[in-house]
A and B are shown apart, each in its own frame.
Chain A
Amino acid sequence: MKIKLDIENKILFPLLVLVIMPIIALGITSYYSAYQMLSERQVIHMDEMMENIKVIYEQNEGSLQGISIDEDIYEISILLGMEFSPGEGGRGHVVTDDQIISYGKTQGNEYIVLKYDKNIFSRELFYFQKNSILIAIVSMLAAAQIIIVLAFNISKPIKKLTKTCKEIEEGRYITFEKSHRNDELGLLANSFNKMMNTINTKTEKIEYLRDINEKIIEDAPIALFLIDGSNQMYKHNKIGEDFMSLDLVEKKTSRSLEEFIKTVDENDVYVFEDSDGNDLYLDMARTVIPNFGTIVSIYDITKRKEMESKMDHMNKLSSLGNIAASLAHEIRNPLSGIRAGMQVLHKRYGGDESSEEIYDTLIGEVDRLNYLINDILNYSKPGKPMKLKCNYKEVLESSFDLYKDSMASMNVKLEIDDNAEMVMGYCDPNQLKQIFINIVTNALNAMDKDEKKLKVSFSNSKGTDGNKYIKIVFTDNGRGIKKEDMDKIFDPFFTSYKKGVGLGLSVVSKLVSENNGKIAIKSIHGKGTDVKLRFEVTEDE
């Protein structure tokens, strides 16, 4: 059994030794003194006995008869000089470890030897001292019990304090019981308690700040990477994790994002390529934190770059539009003259069938140019809409009048689904007509199937603003628009037709907006397109 030398035992054992050893020493000394005393008395007693025995022996002329001794205790014998040689002198005694021997030399040079076994008085001594031994044992027992209880009581608060400290160290326990002791241990425990309270309060504050900081880092709208002093990645936030998962490679150096972050030394915009081959523009900034390392922040500016590129494109288009508008304006007047001249020449020199065809073609082409110029002018400088009360349905019907023949020739099946009760609103009828014409033109141009369908539906709805609207939906079964072209369809000069100029939907978008309407286009490539228009309507008067 291994005895643990804790504080309790360190108090206990020395005290036990201090208290019990003197009791044992006292007992042994007392026993030894009594033993010595008895031994000496026994020697004296035996010497006296020997004196008497010798006298009787001499009187009996060398016979031990008549000598009365307790034979259970003493052993008497006559030994010759050669058998017994105690040393100088005719009488005396010898004390060995287990015997007391008294002797006397007779006149016949024999020795009378009287022996006594020491164990006899050892037993007697024990019997006489039994009570003393018992008192010593009981005293030791009482002393040991008191010392054990004392050591326990002294060490208990220390052990409790140690246990609590251990629990604090393990993070299991952070409060102390108030001590009711008035001694130094009580003061120590209470001071410790106060200290723990202070530590707890500060720890709570630190933990709060730590949590806030972690939250800020984690929820930051930019990617943050913490690099420690040994240039190892210490931590990164969620956006940083997203970047890491993209397997980005810096285009110039071909280094991975993690490697690049560790070595980046200049705050700049760097271009990376993801695993799909897309370019990402990352604005990187590096901040050195003393005694820690560095923080690298990355802001993805790819979208901004795209926007800037788009803006450049738009600016170019705008400039192009202005030039086109100037050109159109300059072209329209001479074109009117050309058309008028053509009509005069037609009247004057026309007549035969081939000439008629030539003149009609020429005038048709001039008209087509005129439409184109109108489109350019409408797009670049649309006239301010005249807000008149108009019937949307009637305007649409008048627009369809222009397409009656061509639709018949193309064998287009027109379907009108009229569910609208309110069809009156304020708009510019000419601009509205232009909108319808452009949408229908696009629809007809897109029709490439044998069975050509165009459906126009009217309905009313109530907006979240409480106003009432008319919704006009053009649904065709043409070739539709490719998914990748969808976000470019309102761009001027964007067209998917070889003959087109790309101004139709740009003009529609602009005019719808001028007339406080909204437009939305949905298309499935190969199946057809839905164009949804919405204009505010008023109650009929």
Chain B
Amino acid sequence: MIYLISFSIYSLLILIAGKGGLKKTETVEDFFVGGKSMKLMPSIFTFTATWFSVASMVGFTGAVYYSGYEVLLMSVVGWFFGAGLLVIIVDPLRKYDLITIPEYFHKRYGSRKLQVFGGLTVIFCYIMYIIIQITGFGIVVSKLLDINYTMSIFMVYLFIIYTTYGGFFSVVKTDTLNIIITILGVIITAYLTISRFDSISQINIMASSMDFGDSKNILEFNASISVIVTTSIAWGLGLAVNPQYLTRISSTNSSLTAKKMISYSVFILAFMYLLLALTGMGGRVLAPELNNIVPVDEIYSHLINDTIYSKLSGMILIGIAAAAISTINSQLLILSSGFMIDIIPAIYKKPIRQDRVLNYSRLVIVVAATVSLALSFTPPSSLLTYGSIIWSIFSITFFIPIYGGSIWKKANKYGAGASIVAGLVVMFYWLQKQGFFNSSYSIHPVIPSFIAALVFFILFTFIGELYENKA
């Protein structure tokens, strides 16, 4: 009953917020990057909301429950390292006045082919990533509302189409609402967990005494240092070139706003991850039996529905919904821009009227959401591992050309192209060797792929230069 009432209230709030965002959109630039006019506060809200996904909330807490604090090193530290790289790229990126990130390949390297490739990468990765988000949402909501999984993922489908329809302004408006609800959800979860202990120290002392098979001690490294470091770097590199963050750099009204947006958001996120880590640790003590009976992604829902259930649990439910919706709508919008701005102009050479671009973009959003919904009926085994593979594709394909092109004047399209191909080949070889969804590796596949991409980038930049001089 509580969940249904909370869900209804949330639906009403989203309807109101989404309606407000519909009105401002006039141009394609408005639709995809809010007319590049975003001020600091909305930018922080949308950046944080996009970052903090259902995978963060549910997957991260579950991972901490199982593996202890080393998860912070493997994921959060890497993400924040990526945020540091984002601050560095603000000025070079804004110089190119981008609507989509693959546009960088065209504007920096003069290559339409690379732009189209970038667009395709964005579409593929985001479809996959949206599936993760929908699945995460479906698992939690079906558990909490005690309804069918299919029905719960259909609910998120309705929300994401509605909140993305109005474009970037709509996404920002609903993100503002979503992040507030998400933060409240995280705080309430942490409060309900921590309040059952005398102190935070008590949580740590009690949690460290729990014997969880592989995860013996929450304060010790269960995984090898190489795994922790390379996984962390892989997350960081992926985050530093993830279009959902780079687009938000483009959408701000100035470089300073973009830098402040990243910096302030990191503080908010650090606070939220800390609370979730404590929730995971508390859950480990309060419900150790979950270790053997539920998968990692369902730990969170079990905790809030059984272990720490209260009248406030409804707020936590909509916090999860908000985290999922705020990430998915941003990704859907970028996916649509990848198709309409990066791919279509290369195929259909004639200029398309602005109002038609907007309508087609909305159509792409509906189609992509429907495809993702259809693919979500069979959910992947583990959200975080799956997410890591997708992010790896971004780190391999986008990182070297974007950061390399920004700091090295000589960089050319030959180097950029070769780095993408080499990186992908090495990564797929590595993944195939270890098993695609096998999370037990000694070195994250991104590391050798990244090195190969870097070598080929430098090598082919020189070869390309020689070739052009000869021509």
Contact = CB atoms under 8 A, between A and B. Distances in A.
Interface in A114-137: 126, 130-131, 133-134, 137
A148 B11 CA distance: 13
Interface stretch (A139-147, A324-332, A441-449, A477-485): A139-147
B15 A145 contact: yes
Interface string A234-273: 0000000000000000000000000000000000000000
Given A134-B4, A137-B4, A149 B165 contact: yes
B22 A141 contact: no
A477 B239 CA distance: 102
Contacts of A142: 158
A490 interface: no
A157 to B, nearest CB: 10
Contacts of B162: 145, 148-149
A259 B162 CA distance: 73
A131 B152 CA distance: 11
Most B Cβ at <10 Å: residue of A133, A134, A137: A134
A357 to B, nearest CB: 114
B421 to A, nearest CB: 42
A167 to B, nearest CB: 14
Nearest to B362: A149
B23 A138 contact: no
A148 B162 CA distance: 9
Contacts of A148: 15, 18-19, 22, 162
B1 A134 contact: no
A141 B162 CA distance: 10
Interface string B246-282: 0000000000000000000000000000000000000
Q: Which residue, A133, A138, A145, A180, has most C-beta atoms of chain B within 10 A?
A: A145
B145 A137 contact: no
B226 interface: no
B355 A180 contact: yes
Contacts of A131: 147-148, 151
A144 B13 CA distance: 12
Nearest to B19: A148
Interface in B140-185: 145-148, 151, 154-155, 158, 161-162, 165
Contacts of A126: 1
Interface string B366-391: 00000000000000000000000000
A426 interface: no
B155 A138 contact: yes
A152 interface: yes
Contacts of B22: 148-149, 152
Nearest to B1: A126
A148 B8 CA distance: 17
A180 B356 CA distance: 10
A4 to B, nearest CB: 11
Nearest to B356: A180
Interface string B16-37: 0011001100000000000000
Contact of B158 (A130, A145, A180): A145
Interface residue tally on B, bucketed by range: 20 to 34
B7 A137 contact: yes
A131 B23 CA distance: 35
B146 A137 contact: no
Nearest to A137: B8
A141 B8 CA distance: 9
Nearest to A160: B26
A144 B151 CA distance: 18
B353 interface: yes
Nearest to A134: B147
A141 B15 CA distance: 8
A186 B4 CA distance: 44
Given A148-B22, A152-B23, A133 B4 contact: yes
Nearest to B159: A141
Nearest to A138: B155
Nearest to A9: B19
A207 to B, nearest CB: 30
Contacts of B161: 145
Nearest to A12: B19
A130 B146 contact: yes
Contacts of A180: 353, 355-356
A124 B35 CA distance: 52
Contacts of B8: 137
B151 A134 contact: yes
Interface string A160-179: 00000000000000000000
Contacts of B23: 152
A141 B165 CA distance: 15
A248 B165 CA distance: 74
B15 A144 contact: yes
Contacts of A138: 151, 154-155, 158
Nearest to B146: A130
Nearest to A149: B165
Interface string A178-191: 00100000000000
18 contacts: A126-B1, A131-B147, A131-B151, A134-B4, A134-B147, A137-B4, A137-B8, A138-B151, A141-B11, A141-B155, A142-B158, A145-B162, A148-B15, A148-B22, A149-B22, A152-B19, A180-B353, A180-B356
Interface of A: 126, 130-131, 133-134, 137-138, 141-142, 144-145, 148-149, 152, 180
Q: Which 3 A-B pairs have the closest CB atoms?
A: A145-B162, A152-B22, A141-B11
